[in-house]
Amino acid sequence: MANIAPKGTKDLLPSQVYKWHYLEGKFAEICKKYGFKEIRTPMFEHTEVFARGIGDTTDVVQKEMYTFNDHGNRSITLKPEGTSGAVRAFIEHKQYAEVQPTKYYYVTDCFRYEKPQSGRLRHFHQFGVEVFGTPNMLADAEVIAIGHDFLTELGIKDLELRINSVGCPACRKKHREALKAFLQPHYEELCGTCKTRFDKNPMRIIDCKSEVCHEIVKDAPRMLEYLCDDCKAAFEEVQENLNALEIPFEVDPDIVRGLDYYTKTAFEFVTTKIGAQGTVCGGGRYDHLIEELGGPPIPGVGWGMGIERVLMLMEANEVEFPAEDRVDAFIAVMGDEAKKFGLKLCRELRQKGLIAEMDTLARNIKGQFKYAGRLNAKYTLVIGDDELAKGVVSLKDMDKSEQREVRFEDIFEEITK
Ligand code: ATP
Ligand code: MG
Q: Decide: residue 245, CB within 10 A, 0-12 exposed, 13-18 middle, 19+ buried.
A: middle
pLDDT value of position 129: 98
Condensed to tens digits (0 to 9), the pLDDT of residues 247-258 reads 999 999 999 887
- Which atom of ligand 1 lies nearest, measured to the CA of 258? 6
Alpha helix stretches (DSSP H) within 127-267: 137-153, 169-183, 192-200, 211-217, 229-244
CA of 413 to the centre of ligand 1 (A): 50
Per DSSP, what are the bridge partners of residue 163? 251, 267
Taking the CA atoms of residue 294, residue 297, residue 300 and residue 306 in that order, the dihedral angle to the nearest 10 degrees is 20
Give the closest residue to 298 by CA, choosing from 55, 136, 58, 167: 136
Whole-angstrom Cα distance, residue 316 to residue 158? Answer: 10
Residue 82 alpha carbon to ligand 1 centre in Å: 11
202, pLDDT greater than 80? yes
| Confidence (pTM) | 0.93
Q: C-alpha distances in angstroms, 66 versus 4, 128, 262?
A: 20, 20, 23
Q: How does DSSP classify residue 95?
A: G
Instruction: For residue range 330-353, list pLDDT tens digits in order.
Output: 999 999 999 999 999 999 999 999
- pLDDT value at position 201? 84
Q: Which of 53, 60, 95, 40 is nearest to 294 (CA)?
A: 53
Q: Which atom of ligand 1 is nearest to the CA of 120?
A: 28
Closest C-alpha to ligand 1, atom 26: 120
Rg (CA), the chain: 28
How do strand 392-397 and strand 356-358 relate by DSSP bridges? unpaired
Whose C-alpha lies nearest to ligand 1, atom 23?
Answer: 306
The verdict on the CB of residue 164 being under 6 Å from ligand 1 is: no
In 3D space, the residue among 17, 19, 37, 41 whose CA is nearest the CA of residue 28 turns out to be 37
Q: What's the CA-to-centroid distance between 258 and ligand 2, angstroms?
A: 6
Q: For the segment 351-363, what is each residue's pLDDT rounded down to a tens digit?
A: 999 999 999 999 9
151 — pLDDT class (breaks 50, 70, 90):
very high
User: From the alpha carbon of 309, which atom of ligand 1 is closest?
Assistant: 20
Instruction: Please say if the pLDDT value at position 273 is more than 90.
Output: no
pLDDT in tens, 232-245: 999 999 999 999 99
Residue nearest to atom 21 of ligand 1 (CA): 306
- Dihedral sign for Cα atoms in the order 50, 56, 60, 64: positive
394 DSSP β-pair partners: 382, 405
CA 178 – CA 219 distance, rounded (Å)? 12
Max mean pLDDT among 141-150, 219-228, 269-278 falls in: 141-150
C-beta 278 within 6 A of ligand 1: no
75-78 and 250-251: which strand pairing?
unpaired
Our measurement of the distance from residue 234's CA atom to the centroid of its chain's CA atoms, rounded to an integer in Å, reads 28
Cα 329 to Cα 93: distance, rounded to the nearest angstrom: 48
Share of the chain above pLDDT 90, in %: 87
**Band of pLDDT at residue 260, cut at 50, 70 and 90:** confident
Are residues 189 and 216 in contact, defined by beta-carbon separation less than 8 angstroms? yes
pLDDT in tens, 294-324: 999 999 999 999 999 999 999 999 999 998 8
- From the alpha carbon of 59, which atom of ligand 1 is closest? 7
Report the share of the chain in percent with pLDDT over 70.
100
In this predicted structure, what is the pLDDT of residue 261?
82
